[in-house]
Amino acid sequence: MERYSVKIDSFEGPLDLLLHLIQQAEVDIYNIPVSDITNHYLEYVRTMQELELNVASEYLVMAATLLEIKSKMLLPQTEEKEEMLLEAEEDDPHAHLMTRLVEYKKYKEAAAYLQEKEKQAALYYAKHSTDVCSGAEQQNEPNLSEEVSLFDLLQAYQSLQNRQSRSAVRTVTTIEAEELSIEERMDDILSSLESNGTVEFSALFPVKQRAYQIVTFLAILELMKDGKVTCLQSENFGDITVTTRGGRPKG
C-alpha cells in the first residue's frame, strides 16, 4: 500500500523540530515561552493528524515528554533527590532527551557533510561502460541482431494501418459475426513459423479488418511474452521479422 506522505516545512521529526527550537533559543535564550513551544508542537500535530497519523504520534510523544520535563522542574527538589536522579539517568526524561538530541545533532551534521560530498561527487563524470560483447554477437547474425522494443512493434502496426487505410477502397461493409480468439491466432502464427522459420511482420496481417489485426497484434505480443517468438529488425523503420526463438523447444 502506498502511503501518502506530506512534508511540512523542513523538519524531519520531533527531534529535528526541537533542535530547531533550541537553535532559535540560542539567539534569544531568555525569551522562550514554554506555551509557545507547546503551541508550536500542537499546531504541527494538528496539521499532520489527518495526513500522517504515524508521524503525529511521534510528535505527541515528544510533546508529552516536554510537558513531563516541565512538570518535574516545577517540583521542589532536595539535594538527595537530585543525586538519585543523576544516578538513574536513564529514567530521567530530561537527561535522556538531551542525550538523544546531542546524538541526533551529530548525525544531522554528518548528513550535511554527506550532502556536500554528494554535490562534489557529481562533478566527476564517468562514462557508461562499453559493451564489448555486442560486437561479437553481431557477427553471428549480421542483419537481424537488434531486439525490437514494444514501441517498434507499435510503430510497425501503425504504419501498417496507415498503409492499409490508404489502399483500402471505401465500400459498404457488413459486420461479420465471426470471432477470432488470441489463442487461435497464436497457434496460426506458430504453425506458419513452423514451416518457414521466419515470417515478415506485415505478412501476418493479410486480413484488413481491425478486429483481426488487433487480435493478431495481441497474439504476437503474447507469444513474445511467453518467449516463443522473437522479433528482429535490421534497421530503423525497417520491416520486422518474426522468428521462433532460436533452438529453444516449443513450450
Identify the residue among 32, 84, 86, 154 touching another protein (CB under 8 A). Answer: 32
Residue 207 interacting with another protein (CB under 8 A): no
Distance CA 45, CA 13 (A): 11
C-alpha cell read off for 7: 512534508
Residue 94 interacting with another protein (CB under 8 A): yes
Identify the residue among 109, 147, 176, 200 touching another protein (CB under 8 A). Answer: 109
Site stretch for another protein (CB under 8 A), options 100-108, 179-187, 192-200, 207-215: 100-108
Distance CA 110, CA 122 (A): 18
Please return the burial class of 223, using the count of CB atoms within 10 Å of its CB with bins 0-12, 13-18 and 19+: buried
Please return the burial class of 18, using the count of CB atoms within 10 Å of its CB with bins 0-12, 13-18 and 19+: buried
Residue 78 interacting with another protein (CB under 8 A): no
Site stretch for another protein (CB under 8 A), options 2-10, 39-47, 192-200, 218-226: 2-10
Amino acid, res. 191:
S
Residue 15 interacting with another protein (CB under 8 A): yes
Instruction: Tell the smallest beta-carbon distance from residue 88 to another protein (Å).
Output: 18
**Residue 59 in contact with residue 48, Cβ under 8 Å?**
yes
Name the residue among 123, 17, 120 with its Cα closest to residue 61.
17
Residue 211 interacting with another protein (CB under 8 A): no
Task: Kindly state the DSSP code that residue 105 receives in the 8-state scheme.
Answer: H
C-alpha cell read off for 94: 530530561
Distance CA 78, CA 164 (A): 97
Site stretch for another protein (CB under 8 A), options 79-87, 109-117, 159-167, 182-190: 109-117
Residue 124 interacting with another protein (CB under 8 A): yes
Residue 73 interacting with another protein (CB under 8 A): yes
Q: Helix 53-74 crosses helix 34-49 at what angle (to 10 degrees)? A: 160
Cβ proximity to another protein: between 97 and 199 the closer is 97
x-marked contacts with another protein along 156-175 as a string, rule CB under 8 A: --------------------
Site stretch for another protein (CB under 8 A), options 20-28, 179-187, 189-197, 211-219: 20-28
For residues 35-54, which are near another protein according to CB under 8 A? Answer: 37, 54
Lay out the sheet containing 146-147: strands in order across.
146-147, 229-233, 240-244, 198-200
Residue 215 interacting with another protein (CB under 8 A): no
Q: Which residues bind another protein (CB under 8 A)?
A: 3, 5, 10, 12-16, 19, 21-23, 25-26, 29-34, 37, 54-55, 58, 62, 69-70, 73-74, 94, 98, 100-115, 117-118, 120-130, 132
